[in-house]
Structure formats: structure tokens, C-alpha cells
Chain A
Amino acid sequence: MLLQYIAIAILIFLSTALAGLVIVLGELFGPRVKTNVKSMPYESGMTPIGPGTRRMPVRFYLIAMLFILFDIEIIFLLPWAVVFRKLGVFGLVEMLIFILILLVGYLYAWKKGALEWE
């Protein structure tokens, strides 16, 4: 049973090993000359202004929240999509109702301008 997942395990191992290897190689062979100017945060070549840790705009949070909700919609779609040919018209109508109800929320977010970034 575990053999089905061997590809995922190999992928995880290789990506972790590669990331670790790159860090170790950089530590071993990279020249390190630390100066005050070098340890400054990079800001397109100019001297940075203000604190380095600025508050993120709340809009990121809103987008992440909308993403969660549509992510959960996808989770509902997935098992349905596996068998939707066998379910016939009834299953299709059920899923259409589900999506239509969520579409109301989508339209609300759209109309309110929550999807705009400006």
C-alpha cells in the first residue's frame, strides 16, 4: 500500500536534499565579507526608509480568506467530479445549486470591489 506513495516520498526527499545541499554548498564555498552596507535591506539601490517590518495591507488577508472558501468548494467538487457521469442529471443539478449559491457570494465580493487590487 505504501508503494503507491513512493513517488511522493522520493519527491519530498529530493527536494529537501537539494535545498539542504544548496545551503551547505553556499556556506562552504561562498565568500563572506560582511560590511554595514551589505547587511542593509536591499531597496533598489537606494538607502532604505522606515522600519524593515512594515504592516501588510489587510487586503492580503481578505484574499487569503476568499481563497480558503473557494478551496473548500473545490474539495466538494473533487469527489463529485470522480463519479459525475454515473450520477446523471440529478447530481449535475445538485452541484449546480451548490455552485450557484456560492456564486452569489462571489458576485457580492466582486460588486463590493473586494477582488480589485488597485
Chain B
Amino acid sequence: MTPLQLVFLLTAALTLVAAFRVVTTRNLVHAALWLVVTLFGVAVLFVLLNAPFLAVVQVVVYIGAIAVLFIFAIMLTRREMRDQGAQLNKGWWAAALVSLLTFGGLFWLTRSWDGFTRTAAPLPTGQDTLSALGKALVSPDAFVLPFEIASVLLLAALVGAVYVAYREK
């Protein structure tokens, strides 16, 4: 086993365990913290896929901002930080059945696809993906229009957030 495989397997296992804990833990704040672990595992997977910029985005945006927003939202909405109700309701077996059928169907559909066993194409070494992205963001024959539209989207989100959440005295 190469070191790369070892790191991948450890990260994947940690990510899966953390993702499982997110939905099973009783304490919502703990669930949010497990979510941080899950997101961090995904960041490591991005690194393993030779996408360091995405890994940075994952840490800065998802862990640094969105997980913090989740934690604030939990503290805002839960008077008691602990959920007292049951975690399963009466329809749990139906949900399990549907999940199982979906999984079985997808498995059956993809069993002839050779992507699981085929050796993947080597990743682009991508020394300079970041500057390529920077150039693509502002060059007219690439993403300059989506880039500017993204700023309008962010503006709408900003104004909307202030309008909805802020009440003037």
C-alpha cells in the first residue's frame, strides 16, 4: 500500500464516521462539530485529488464561515441545546426500505460500468491551476460574465440577509 492510499483510506474512514455521527449524535452542537470534521475530511480528499485551491476554499468557506453560521443558528433556535425527542419516528422502516431499494437499483444499473475497476487516468499535475483560474475569471473568452454575475448574486444575498435578519430600532 502506498502512503497515498493509506492517507486516503484513513481520511475516508474518518470522514464517514464523522458524517455518521452528524446524523446520530443527540446534541446538536456536537453534530455541528462533527460536521466540521466531515468537511475537513473532504478538504483532505481535495488535496489528495490535486486540487489545493478547492481544499483552501473548503476550509475557509465551509469550515470558517458556514459551520460557524450553523453553530450560531443552533444556539439561536434551541432554547435547550439538547434534543429531547426520539431520533426515529414510526416511518423509519419505510425510509430504510426506500433507501435500500434506491441503493439496489443504482447498484444494478451501474454494475456493468467499468469505472469502478478501471485504473483512473493520472491526475493533471496542475502546478499552476490557481493562476489559470485567476486568468479564466477575468478573461472575456472565459468566465468574466459569470464572475460579474456572481457579484450581483452576492449583493442580492447581502441585501437580503440584512433586510430579513436586521430589525431597526
Q: Mark A60-97, 1 if CB is under 8 A from B, else 0.
A: 11101111110111111011111110110011001101
Question: In the complex, what residues of A have CB within 8 A of residue B130's CB?
Answer: 78-79, 82
For B83-123 the 0/1 string (1 means CB < 8 A from A) is: 00000000000000000000000000000000000000000
- B158 to A94, Cβ gap below 8 A? no
In chain A, positions 40-61 with a C-beta closer than 8 Å to chain B are 51, 53, 55-56, 58, 60-61
Question: Given the known A-B contacts A64-B69, A79-B131, A98-B147, are A69 and B158 also in contact in the complex, defined by CB atoms under 8 Å?
Answer: yes
Q: Which residue of B lies closest to A79 (CB)?
A: B134
Bound-state CA distance A72–B153 (Å) is 11
A interface residue numbers (CB < 8 A to B)? 1-2, 5, 51, 53, 55-56, 58, 60-62, 64-69, 71-76, 78-84, 86-87, 90-91, 94-95, 97-99, 101-102, 104-106, 108-109, 112-114
B129-165 contacts to A (CB < 8 Å): 130-131, 133-135, 137-140, 144, 147-148, 150-152, 154-155, 157-159, 161-163, 165
Write out the residue numbers on chain A whose beta carbons fall within 8 Å of the beta carbon of B73: 61
Q: For B40, give the chain A residue with the smallest CB separation.
A: A12
Q: A65-B161, A84-B134 are in contact. Are A75 and B68 (CB under 8 A)?
A: no
Which residues on the A side are within 8 Å of B161 (C-beta)? 62, 65-66, 69
In whole angstroms, what is the CA distance A62 to B168 when docked?
Answer: 13
Say yes or no: B65 contacts A64, CB within 8 Å: yes
Interface residues on B, range: 35 or more
Q: Which residue of B lies closest to A113 (CB)?
A: B168
Q: What's the nearest-Cβ distance from chain A to residue B94, in Å?
A: 35
Residue B3 interfacial (CB < 8 Å): yes
Given contacts A98-B148, A104-B155, contact A71 B138 (CB under 8 A): no
Q: Which of B47, B53, B138, B158 contacts A95 (CB 8 A)?
A: B138
* Nearest A-chain residue to B78, judged by Cβ: A53
Further pairs besides A79-B137, A101-B148: 14, Cβ < 8 Å: A58-B76, A60-B75, A72-B61, A79-B53, A80-B134, A81-B134, A84-B134, A87-B134, A87-B135, A91-B138, A98-B151, A105-B162, A112-B166, A114-B166
